[in-house]
Every structure is written in structure tokens, then in C-alpha cells.
Copies of this chain bind each other. A is one copy, B any other.
Amino acid sequence: MIASPYLLYLGAAVDPLAVKTARGVAQWRPDRCLGQLRLPGATVTLGLEDLDVAEAARRGARTLVIGEANAGGRLAPEAIPVVLAALEAGLDVACGLHQKLAEVAEIRETAARLGRRLTDVREPPTSLAVGKGVPRAGHRLLTVGTDCSVGKMYASLALERDMRAAGLRADFRATGQTGILIAGDGAPVDAVVADFISGAVEAISPARHEGGWDVIEGQGSLFHPSYAGVTLGLIHGAQPDALVLCHEPGRSHMRGVPGHPVPELAICLERNLEAARLTNPAVVAVGVALNTSAMSAAEGLELCSRISDALGLPCQDPVAHGTHLIVDRLKSCFAPPLSAASAGR
């Protein structure tokens, strides 16, 4: 578990895309974010208070989060003194870059000397078991996708929010780097040893004996020739009771692999249900989450309506519309059985 509150490091960012990770944390877990730390020249802001390390420490910050990527996913040289100052001031440091914090000798040695924790969220847990496929208590919703990067994490977080608003107990379970920084824990399933994909997902979504829902962040797509193995293991480990299919309209081909078309929604959904039945034969689809950011509001609503009619499922853009219709469907599919008395009325 990464300790919060966070101080979000944005460096000297001038490109909003460079702080995508930090923006996700600030958007979905504002209560975990104490402030942002920017270097001279930065033009991007997350709208948080600008704090230096000393002031953040004084106000109770527990972890400096490196939320800025430069080319190659390496730590920018100007970030290193900030990391060292944070360690000296009493903070842990968490990082979503490809380069590990401990690869920088000064950082490794300073953290060791002071007993601070360095968390690289791309590093998988070291002691994993293989998946067992044994049915477990509680309910799980999994987001699946027609492709990579179609909004599975956003859909999952919106569903957690809207399920809670509808009176359900719901907890987001992160399977990717940004999700792990948002949730404070999770496992980067694309980085685990291949034999342990489903086991890693079983580990992050254990039996819920008190009931309620885990909302598990999906990865990749069964139709992506590079990553479908990760997706299938994730599905089997999740043992989902409910699937939400995520899609971004308008792609000419699967991400990064020209020549591989994006699957039809109905076929994609059926293949995901078929895969999920191996570890939960009762799985059902409860909705479609559409990323309509590239179209007008009217076009977006129109497309949602058409997909909803075609598939017989609620279809919403989690960002533009929320997910309340999907949550309504979830509640009606998993309503507690009527008592004999009320059923007999």
C-alpha cells in the first residue's frame, strides 16, 4: 500500500500528456492529493496547491509521486534532487516510470539510509501463486475492451463511484501503473511472469466474505495480437460476475498493429463472456462504456443509443454521462431474491 496523502511531482511539464498519470490520481483520488510540485517553466497544472517538499512534509504528505514521464520513461535529471529532498524530509517515493527509482544509486542509498520506501508501480509482486480458479465469495465486475487504451480504467473508476452512489459497496482493483497509483495498491498484470497472470488477479481481488463488489480494471483485448494472453489470464483470475465492454469508436485498426481490424462489439462481447465462463459460468454483461470524446455531445448520445438498442445493454460514456444506467442494470441483474412472502403477493 502506497501511503497517502501524496505530493504530485509534475516537473517542468509543458505538455498535458506528460502528466497524464498525475492527472488521473488528482481526478479520481483528490482526497489522497495534498498538492503539486512544479519546477520553473512548468505551464501545466492540476489545479492543486503548489507546495515544495518541506511544506508538503510539514502538512503531512507521506509520499512523493513521480507523475511525469520523459522520453523513454526515464527519470529526468532535474527530478533527482527533488526525490532526494523528499526522502530527507521524511517522505516515501512512488514512481510509474519504466526506470526504477533504485537504479539511481543516490536515491537507492538515501532511501536505505533513512528507511524510506521506494515503490516502482511497474514492478510486480515477487511472491505470486498460480491462479487456482476456485470460486470465491463476493461479486466482481471486470471491464473488458475491444482494444487497448479505450478507457477501461476510467470506466472502472466511474463505476466504483456510481456504484457507491447507488448504495453498493464497491472497490476499484488496479491492474496497471496509473491505476495502482490511484488506488494505492494493485498489481501490474502485464509485468508479471506469464505463468502468474491469473494468480496475480486472484491475489488483488480476494474473497469478499462481507459481500459487495470488486471493480477490476481490465487490460488489453482478447483481439489484440500482442497482449491477448494478458487479457485472458486477467479474465480467468477475475472470475467476473459482470462484464462491462469498453470501446472507442472510429479506430481504423487495433492499437499499434495496422492490418488488425477492431472487432464488432457483439462478437467481442460474446468472446469475452465465453472466456469468462471458464471460471464463472454465471457471468453476464451489464453494459457498454463508450469513449465519445472525439464526437459532438449529440453524436455521442446518438451512438450510445444505437449501441444500446443493438446489444440490449445500457451504453454510456463514463466521462460525459457517468455510468448510472449500467449500475441500474447491474443492480437489477444481482438483486437479492424476493422473500417468499413478497414474491407471493
Nearest CB to that of A191 among chain B residues? Answer: B193
The answer for the CA separation of A227 and B229 in the assembled complex, in Å, is 9
Q: How far is the CA of A248 from the CA of B70 in the complex (A)?
A: 52
A293 within 8 A of B: no
> Looking at the complex, which one of B193, B225, B274 makes contact with A279 (CB distance below 8 Å)?
B225
CA distance A194 to B190 in the complex (A): 5
Also in contact, A234 and B229, with CB within 8 A (given A190-B195, A194-B189, A195-B191) = yes
Select A257's contact among B133, B194, B223, B228, beta carbons within 8 Å. Answer: B133
Of A130, A189, A222, the most chain B CB neighbours within 10 A belong to A130
Query: Looking across the interface, which residue of chain B has its beta carbon closest to that of A227?
Result: B195
* A278, chain B: closest CB distance, angstroms: 6
Q: Contact check, B236 vs A229: say whether CB atoms are below 8 A apart.
A: yes
In the complex, which range does the number of interface residues on chain A fall in?
35 or more
Asked if A233 is an interface residue, CB under 8 A from chain B, the answer is yes
Q: How far in angstroms is the closest Cβ of chain B from A230?
A: 5
Indicate whether A151 reaches chain B with its CB closer than 8 angstroms: no
Q: Are B233 and A229 in contact (CB under 8 A)?
A: yes
Q: In the bound complex, how far is the Cα of B259 from the Cα of A222, in angstroms?
A: 25
Set of chain B residues within 8 Å of A222, measured between Cβ atoms: 232
User: Which B residues touch A134, using CB under 8 A?
Assistant: 257, 259
Query: Does A132 make an interface contact (CB < 8 A)?
Result: yes
Instruction: Tell me if A260 counts as interface (CB < 8 A to partner B).
Output: yes
Known: A133-B260, A190-B195, A191-B194. A278 touches B227 (CB 8 A): no
Q: Mark A117-144, 1 if CB is under 8 A from B, else 0.
A: 0000000000000111110000000000
Binary CB contact string for chain A from 204 to 236 against chain B (1 if under 8 A, 0 otherwise): 000000000000000000110111111111101
* Set of chain B residues within 8 Å of A257, measured between Cβ atoms: 132-134
Closest 7 CB pairs of A and B: A229-B233, A133-B225, A197-B229, A229-B229, A190-B195, A130-B226, A232-B232
What are 25 contact pairs spanning A and B, CB under 8 A?
A130-B227, A131-B225, A132-B225, A133-B225, A133-B226, A133-B259, A134-B257, A189-B194, A193-B194, A194-B197, A198-B225, A199-B226, A222-B232, A223-B278, A225-B236, A226-B236, A228-B233, A228-B236, A229-B229, A229-B230, A229-B232, A229-B234, A229-B236, A230-B233, A260-B278
